Structures are given as structure tokens and as C-alpha cells.
Amino acid sequence: HISLAGARACKFMHDLLNWPGVTEAIQNSGGWGKVETYAKMFVGDGLEHASTEEAFWTLLEDIDAFILRLDKDVAYTSKIEQACQDRLRLIWTRFRCGTKKTSVLRMNPKITVIGEHLREGKKCVFPSIAKVRPQ
């Protein structure tokens, strides 16, 4: 689920930053300069090592490089997303996580735990940005 969430996050950020009007709105608001400045200060002080939850700031030191990386990685991460979904479905089927048969559940009581973990992982989602058709 972690790889799946990462792939979806990459796609979401790519779609968001390429959404019509976003670049113009950012430029009209003063651009990415302040974000890049704060990110450079954060990394310059080595804070990404002290607070791993905030390590994403390292990506924002150079927004243009970040956007290029997203552009390059989005096709690859789409393949990863599909592979993760396929594997999770395979695990679900292999372990018979949806079964209600008590005989199967008695043979392997961990089936319910595996099923719960698979269901929990589905809750980690990113919004989908729909493509707008020109009218």
C-alpha cells in the first residue's frame, strides 16, 4: 500500500501542477521563490534529518527540477500503481480474504487480519483530478 500511495501521490501532484491555470495563478501570487527559499533554509540547517516527516521540503528547493522529475516519473509510477493493484488483488484472492466459510477461517484464522490490512490500505487515497474537455 505504501508504494501504491506513493505512485498515486506522484500522479496527483503531476496533474495538479499541470492543471490549466495553476502555473499562471502561482506566477500571479509571486511565484515559487519564497517556497524555494524556505526549503533551502530547511535543508541548509539539516532539519530533514531531525524531522523526517518534513523531509519533503528537500524536493521544493528547486521547483522546476521537481516538476521535471514528476513529468519524467508519472508514466513509470502509473505502471507501478497498476502492478501494486494487481498484486493486492492477487493477495486478496490467494488468501481468500473475502470468505465467510468457517471451515476455511478455522484452518487459517489470520485470513481476517490480512483482509483487514488490505481494506485499511484502501483508505489512503489521493483526489483524482478530472480532465476538462474544451467546449
pLDDT, position 121: 66
**Residues 4, 114 contacting (CB under 8 angstroms):** no
Query: In angstroms, rounded to a whole number, what is the distance separating the alpha carbons of residues 16 and 12?
Result: 6
The grid coordinates listed for 93 are 484472492
Query: In angstroms, rounded to a whole number, what is the distance separating the alpha carbons of residues 18 and 23?
Result: 7
* pLDDT 10s digits, 53-91: 888 889 999 999 999 999 999 988 888 888 888 887 787
Whether the pLDDT of residue 118 is over 90: the answer is: no
Mean pLDDT of the residues in the chain: 80
What is the mean predicted confidence (pLDDT) over 41-47?
A: 88
To the nearest whole percent, how much of the chain has pLDDT over 90? 28
* pLDDT 10s digits, 97-108: 767 667 766 667
C-alpha to C-alpha distances, 35 to 24, 30, 62, 94, 106, nearest whole angstrom: 16, 10, 9, 47, 56
pLDDT, position 93: 75
